[in-house]
Structure 1
Amino acid sequence: MTRLAGVLLIAGFAFACVPKKPVKRSNEEDTSKAFAELDKNDKDTGFGEGGGASSEPEAPKGPVYPAPFTAEQIRGATKNGRTYRYKVEMPSKPTKEYAITFRNVDDGGAEVHSGGDQSKRMSWNALQKQSEFPKDKTQTRDEKLKTPAGKFECIVYEVTMEEGEVWTFYFAKKLPGAPVFFYSERYGKRLRTTTLVEHIPGK
Structure 2
Amino acid sequence: MTEPDPHLLGPGLLPTPFTAAEIRDATGQGTTIHLLLEGPDGPLGEHVNRFHDVDDEGATLDRWAAADPKAVVSSRVTWAELQRHAAFDAGTTSVSTVTLSSPLGELTCRRYDTEDGVFWFSVSHPGMPVQFESDGMRTTVLSIEPD
Name the TM-score class by shorter chain: 0.7 to 0.9
Which residue of the partner structure matches residue 139 of structure 2? 194
Task: Report the 3-state secondary structure (helix = DSSP H, G, I; strand = E; otherwise coil) of the residue aligned with 2:81.
Answer: helix
Task: Report the 3-state secondary structure (helix = DSSP H, G, I; strand = E; otherwise coil) of the residue aligned with 1:64.
Answer: coil
Aligned equivalents of 1:107, 1:62: Cα separation in 2: 26
Contact kept, 8 Å, 1:62 with 1:134, in 2: the verdict is no
Structure with more of its chain in strand, by fraction: 2
1:1-203 equivalences in 2 (<5 Å): 63-92=12-41, 94-115=43-64, 116-160=71-115, 166-185=116-135, 191-202=136-147
Number of residue pairs aligned between Structure 1 and Structure 2: 132
RMSD of aligned Cα (Å)? 1.7
Aligned equivalents of 1:122, 1:181: Cα separation in 2: 20
TM-score, normalising length: structure 1? 0.61
Aligned sequence identity (%) = 33
Aligned equivalents of 1:127, 1:179: Cα separation in 2: 11
AA aligned opposite 1:149: L
Shift of 1:93: 5.3
Aligned equivalents of 1:152, 1:183: Cα separation in 2: 17
TM-score, normalising length: structure 2? 0.83
Structure with more of its chain in helix, by fraction: 1
Which residue of the partner structure matches residue 4 of structure 2? none
AA aligned opposite 1:167: G
Task: Report the 3-state secondary structure (helix = DSSP H, G, I; strand = E; otherwise coil) of the residue aligned with 2:106.
Answer: strand
Where in structure 1 are there 5+ consecutive unaligned residues? Answer: 1-60, 161-165, 186-190
Report runs of 4+ in structure 1 exceeding 6 Å deviation.
none
Where in structure 2 are there 5+ consecutive unaligned residues? Answer: 1-9, 65-70
Shift of 1:156: 0.5
Shift of 1:94: 4.3
